[in-house]
Amino acid sequence: MEQSVSQQSSNTPRGFRVQAPLVDSVSCYCKVDSGLKTVAEARKFVPGSKLCIQPDINPNAHKSKNSRRERTRVQPPLLPGLPDDLAIACLIRVPRAEHRKLRLVCKRWCRLLAGNFFYSLRKSLGMAEEWVYVFKRDRDGKISWNAFDPIHQLWQPLPPVPREYSEALGFGCAVLSGCHLYLFGGKDPLRGSMRRVIFYSARTNKWHRAPDMLRKRHFFGSCVINNCLYVAGGECEGIQRTLRSAEVYDPNRNRWSFIQDMSTAMVPFIGVVYDGKWFLKGLGSHREVMSEAYDPETNSWTSVSDGMVSGWRNPSISLNGRLYALDCRDGCKLRVYDGATDSWNKFIDSKLHLGSSRALEAAALVPLNGKLCIIRNNMSISLVDVSSPDKQVESNPHLWENIAGKGHFRTLFTNIWSSIAGRSGLRSHIVHCQVLQA
**Mind listing the pLDDT tens digit for each residue in 379-393?**
999 999 988 766 776
- Whole-angstrom distance, CA of residue 392 vs CA of residue 387: 12
- More confident position, 358 or 335: 335
| pLDDT for the residue 306 | 86
- pLDDT greater than 60 at residue 397: yes
Helical axes 84-91 vs 116-124, angle rounded to 10°: 70
Sheet holding 362-368, edge to edge: 362-368, 371-376, 381-384, 400-402
CA distance 415 to 402: 15
Give the residue with greater pLDDT, 268 vs 426. Answer: 268
Q: In whole angstroms, what separates CA 161 from the centre of its chain?
A: 16
Query: Residue 417: is its pLDDT beyond 60?
Result: no
CB within 8 A of 284, min separation 6: which ones? 242, 264, 265, 266, 290
> Picking from 5-14, 33-42, 315-324, which range would have the lowest pLDDT averaged per residue?
33-42
* DSSP secondary structure string for all residues of 156-172: EP-PPPPGGGSS-BS-E
- Tally of CA atoms within 13 A in the half-sphere of 32 that contains its CB: 19
In this structure, which amino acid lies at residue 34?
A: S
Task: Please report which confidence band the pLDDT of residue 305 belongs to, taking 50, 70 and 90 as the band edges.
Answer: confident
Q: How confident is the model at residue 329 (pLDDT cuts 50, 70, 90)?
A: confident
The pTM is what?
0.78
Q: How many CA atoms lie within 13 A of 386 on its CB side?
A: 27
Query: Residue 409 pLDDT more than 60?
Result: no
In this structure, what DSSP letter does residue 58 have? S
One-letter amino acid at 60 equals N
pLDDT of residue 313: 78
Pair 156, 413: CB distance under 8 Å: no
173-195 pLDDT per residue, tens: 999 999 999 999 999 999 899 99
**Average pLDDT for 163-169:** 96
The domain spans of the chain are 1-75, 79-128, 132-437
Percent residues over pLDDT 90 in the chain:
58
Name the class of domain 79-128. Answer: mainly alpha
Do 229 and 182 contact (CB within 8 A), yes or no?
yes
Query: What's residue 13's pLDDT?
Result: 46
Indicate whether 416 pLDDT > 80. no
Contact assessment for residue 218 and residue 236, using Cβ atoms and an 8 Å cutoff: yes
User: Check: CATH 3.30.70.100 for 132-437?
Assistant: no
Containing H/E element for 120? helix 116-124
> For 47-95, what is each residue's pLDDT tens digit?
443 443 333 334 444 445 555 555 555 788 999 999 999 999 999 999 9
